[in-house]
Every structure is written in C-alpha cells, then in structure tokens.
C-alpha cells in the first residue's frame, strides 16, 4: 500500500509551525516526511541541532523521514558514503540523493548497517537505475522519487515522466512523485511558482493531481512538495488516495432531473469492456432504472466530456449513462445531463475499459 507524505523545511520556518503541520498530516494518515539539507550552510553539529528536533517529533508519530542530500554535502559535513551514521544519529529513515554517485556507491549504501533507505532521483531519464542494479543493491532499501520543480514551465512533461517511471517499475522499486499545494507559500528555495513533478499539475486542485498519478499506475507514494498545505487539501488528498475507486467531478446541467441524479451519483459506474471510440458506456443504469421515465430534454449536440443519459426515445437503451469521448450530433434521443469538470477532462484518457469509477458533483 502506498503512502502519503508532506515536506518540511525547518530552516525556513519554526518548530511550532512544523509540529502543528505534522500533527495535522498525522490526523489524515500521512506517513512520510521529506526534508532537505541541500540549503544548509554550517557545521555538522549545527545541522544536527537544526533538524533533529523536527525529525524526532516526526518519528514520535511513526512517520518516515527522508533527507535530501547530494555528494557535495557529504564533503561539507565530513561524511562518507560507506559510513551513514550521521543520518542514523539525525533520526532519519533514509536519504534521498538529489545527485548520485557512480552506481557502485549507491548499491553499497543500500547495505548499510542501520537499514536506512536510499532514495534515488527518478527524473533524469538516464540508465542510472540500471547501473545501480548491476552492482547488486539490497532492493528492499532502494527507492525512487521524482524531482520537483519550483520554476514555472520546467516541470516534467507527461511522456518523459512515463519513460522514467517505467525504468523503476521494471525493477519493482517503490516510486514517489510530488504534488503541489495551492495553499502553501514556500519550499526549499526563495523563488517558487509552486512545487510539483509534472508541469501540467501546477495549477490543479491537489485531489486532481493525486487522481492522475494513481491512474497512471506508475506511482506508489505521493508527497506534497511545498509547505504548508491547508487542512482541506490534506483531507481531500487522503480521501482521494484511499478511495476504493477513482472519481470524476462533473458539473450538472441546470435542468437535470432527480432520476438522472440517481443514475449519476448513486451508482458505481463500470466502463464497458467492448469500448467505443465515441462513448464511455456505463450500461447497468439502464437495467437498474429501467422503470424510470427519462423524458427527453437538453438534447443539444454533444461535445467531448459531456455526461449523457439515453432518454425514452432510445428504447431499450433508456437510462444508460455515458461520457462522450468526442463530439457527436444529437438526434434528440440523448439527454446532456452534465459535463466533466474542465480541469479533470484530461483524466478521461486514463480510464480503462472494465475499470470502475464514481461520478461526484463538482463543488
């Protein structure tokens, strides 16, 4: 089962605020904490003092703490890749290598005596993970996580994201990606236009970002990259992540009937397996509600993303629920009862035949 995470940047906040955020995240079942040592300037003891209080509190909530580092930090702090005792003393559960070594070092680090997890960067698109795997790492301690991108328009494109993620899926390694809170105000760097892995997520509601990552089937864990997400966002993210089935938000037509509402919202929809290029069909509503009248109304021409119910004019199809996959003429036998929310319309292409899903009314 995957895990949800938050990010903390102790050098840019206060312990009291970090503690309150950890408590809130714990309340909603978050299990991971990402934090970064990349911005730290100072001696080893100071670094320990700055971070240990927050890390210890996260540990007291049984949350796993991953610390972002790179090879130059090893030099700065006088740490060697073959002695990770510093991170054990810090209370970390693992370290994330923002920049890696040669592959042999990473493999050796997975066999550390403290059983610290070694999380490597998934976003580069090179054969880095193949190289590490050639040195026989302990894969139980080897994880992957994508980067996040504070600069607008620099986040990953979807095709590159898939290419990189599949390399890690090939080895059955745990994968993680970052999503962006719209309420958060800071990250590890002074400049940020939000923080996310996929560029197309930057302005989306957090639950939509989570749905997308889950529907790709490529990501196990999801972490909010910036701080601090609102309680509403934490709650929505947890509900979406733990939902039995994906949901699509729809905006209902002003003249939708009560029977049509029942079809849409009181029913688990199943994408019929003999798939059409024009319609995503959820056929069982016509069976369950065959005795309801479904008179014709709002029979305008159809656009991609429209939510449809066949009316009485369609005979035995009356009451069937559909989602339009492309534009079509309407001959008067189909009621347009709503529309997939514009910001979730792109999720349509990730629903697969025979999959189940729910429709919810857009807030």
Place of tokens 């996580």: 145
In this model, does residue 43 exceed pLDDT 80?
Answer: no
Residue 76's pLDDT is: 78
Task: For residues 146 and 342, give the distance between their C-alpha atoms in angstroms, rounded to a whole number.
Answer: 27
Confidence band of 39 (pLDDT split at 50, 70, 90): low
Distances in Å between the Cα of 60 and the Cα atoms of 21, 93, 124, 173 are: 14, 13, 34, 27
- Domain residue ranges of the chain, discontinuous segments joined by +: 4-243, 248-361
Residue 113's pLDDT is: 97
Residue 47's pLDDT is: 63
Percent of the chain exceeding pLDDT 70 equals: 98
Confidence band of 37 (pLDDT split at 50, 70, 90): confident
> What are 261-313's pLDDT values in tens digits?
999 999 899 999 999 999 999 999 999 999 999 999 999 999 999 999 999 99
3-state helix, strand, coil in the chain (%, to 5): 35, 25, 40
The two beta strands, 64-69 and 94-97, are parallel
In this model, does residue 235 exceed pLDDT 80?
Answer: yes
In this model, does residue 79 exceed pLDDT 90?
Answer: no
Strand order in the sheet with 356-361: 269-270, 356-361, 247-252, 334-340, 306-310, 321-324, 279-282
> What are 310-344's pLDDT values in tens digits?
999 999 999 999 999 999 999 999 999 999 999 99
Q: Span 248-361: which CATH code? A: 2.40.100.10
Percent of the chain exceeding pLDDT 90 equals: 85
Burial class (CB in 10 A: 0-12, 13-18, 19+), 345: middle
In this model, does residue 50 exceed pLDDT 90?
Answer: no
Task: For residues 114 and 45, give the distance between their C-alpha atoms in angstroms, rounded to a whole number.
Answer: 20
Mean pLDDT of 13-22: 95
Residue 226's pLDDT is: 97
- Asked if 136 contacts 171 with a C-beta cutoff of 8 angstroms, the reply is no
> What are 122-175's pLDDT values in tens digits?
999 899 999 999 999 999 999 999 999 999 999 999 999 999 999 999 999 999
Beta bridge partners of 280: 323
In this model, does residue 100 exceed pLDDT 90?
Answer: no
Mean pLDDT of 101-120: 95
> Chain-wide mean pLDDT for the chain?
95
Class of domain 4-243: alpha beta
Q: Is the torsion defined by CA of 13, 34, 350, 320 positive or negative?
A: negative
Residue 80's pLDDT is: 86
Confidence band of 72 (pLDDT split at 50, 70, 90): confident
Higher pLDDT, 188 or 38: 188
């Amino acid at each position: 089962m995957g895990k949800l995470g938050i990010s903390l940047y102790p050098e840019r906040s206060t312990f009291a605020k970090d503690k309150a955020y950890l408590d809130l995240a714990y309340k909603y079942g978050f299990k991971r904490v990402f934090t970064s040592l990349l911005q730290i300037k100072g001696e080893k003891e100071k670094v320990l003092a700055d971070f240990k209080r927050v890390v210890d509190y996260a540990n007291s909530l049984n949350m796993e703490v991953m610390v972002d580092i790179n090879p130059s930090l090893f030099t700065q702090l006088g740490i060697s890749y073959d002695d990770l005792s510093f991170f054990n003393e810090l209370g970390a559960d693992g370290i994330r290598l923002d920049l890696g070594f040669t592959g042999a070092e990473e493999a050796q680090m997975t066999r550390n005596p403290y059983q610290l997890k070694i999380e490597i960067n998934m976003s580069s698109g090179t054969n880095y993970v193949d190289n590490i795997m050639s040195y026989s790492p302990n894969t139980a301690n080897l994880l992957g996580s994508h980067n996040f991108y504070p600069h607008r328009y620099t986040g990953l494109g979807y095709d590159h994201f898939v290419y990189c993620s599949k390399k890690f899926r090939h080895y059955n390694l745990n994968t993680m990606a970052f999503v962006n809170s719209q309420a958060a105000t800071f990250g590890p760097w002074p400049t940020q236009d939000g923080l996310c892995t996929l560029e197309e997520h930057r302005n989306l509601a957090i639950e939509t970002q989570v749905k997308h990552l889950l529907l790709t089937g490529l990501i196990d864990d999801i972490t909010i990259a910036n701080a601090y997400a609102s309680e509403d966002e934490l709650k929505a993210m947890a509900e979406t992540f733990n939902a039995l089935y994906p949901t699509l938000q729809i905006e209902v037509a002003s003249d939708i009937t009560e029977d049509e509402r029942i079809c849409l919202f009181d029913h688990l929809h199943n994408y019929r397996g003999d798939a059409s290029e024009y319609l995503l069909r959820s056929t069982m509503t016509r069976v369950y509600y065959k005795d309801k009248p479904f008179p014709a109304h709002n029979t305008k021409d159809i656009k991609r993303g429209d939510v449809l119910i066949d009316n009485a004019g369609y005979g035995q199809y009356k009451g069937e629920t559909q989602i339009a996959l492309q534009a079509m003429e309407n001959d008067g036998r189909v009621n347009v009862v709503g529309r997939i929310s514009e910001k979730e319309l792109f999720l349509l292409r990730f629903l697969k035949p025979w999959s189940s899903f729910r429709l919810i009314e857009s807030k």
